Amino acid sequence: MDMAHIKKYTGIFLFSLFLLTTFSCSTVPVLHVNYRVPGKTNQLQGKKVFLEIRDSRTDKDMLGEGAKEDFKNILESVSLSVAEGNERGFKIGVFPVTDLMREIFRERLTGLGLDVVTDINSRGEEPTVVIDLQTFKLDLIKGTVKRTWTAKVAYIAEIQDKGKALASNKISGESEKLKIVFRKEADSLMSDLITDLTNRLDVEALLRKAGLI
C-alpha cells in the first residue's frame, strides 16, 4: 500500500473517531432542572448574608436503582437553568448537587434584595444562611404496566450569627409523575419539586425569628 492510500485511510479513521467521540459526549445523559424564581422584591435590600451549603444526606447517590438503569452512565451532576415569570429560562451551567443548591439559593436570596456572599474568603461579620441538604433523590419505579418517576428533596434552613444557631426550619416534599417520553417527565418533576421547596422558604420570617430584622 503506497503512502497516498495510507494517508487516505488514516484521515478517514481519524475523522470517524472524531465523530464517534463528539456523538458520545453529546449524548451523555444529564438531569435537567429549571428553577423558577419568584418575582423579585426589595424587601430585604441592604442586608448582607453569607450562604453556606451543607450535605448531610445519608445516601449521596442522586439516583435510585431504577433511575440509574434508565439513565445509564449519567454524570453525577445536574444541568441548571433559571427562569423568571413565563420565561423559558437560561442555562447557568452543570453542577454537582451541592453546587446546584448553592446556585439555586443564591438566586432565591438575591431575588429578595439580599447581598449574598458565597466565597468563604470574602466572608465577613454578616449572618449566615445555612442550607443543610437532607435528601435529594430521583428514582424510577417499575409497575406491571407503567413506570413512574419519583422525587424526594428535603433540607434544613438555619440562620446563624457569630456561630450561634438562632432559627431554623425544615422543608421537605416528594412527588411523582408517570414516565411517557424518555426522561422529559423526570426533568419536569425535579424542576417543579425543587422550585416549590426552594420558594416555600420564608427567608424574611426566618431572619425575623432570629431577631436580625
**Percentage of residues in the chain with pLDDT exceeding 90?**
66
Q: Is the pLDDT of residue 203 over 80?
A: yes
For the entire predicted model, the pTM comes to 0.84
Domains and CATH numbers, the chain: 30-209 (3.40.50.10610)
- Give the Cα separation of 53 and 132 in Å (integer): 6
Helix (H) or strand (E) run with residue 54 in it: strand 48-55
Helix (H) or strand (E) run with residue 194 in it: helix 184-200
Higher confidence at residue 180 or residue 192? Answer: 192
pLDDT in the model for residue 42: 85
Kindly report, residue by residue over 113-137, the tens digit of the pLDDT: 999 999 998 888 999 999 999 999 9
Kindly report, residue by residue over 9-63, the tens digit of the pLDDT: 444 444 444 434 433 344 456 899 999 999 888 889 989 999 999 999 999 999 9
Average pLDDT score, the chain: 86
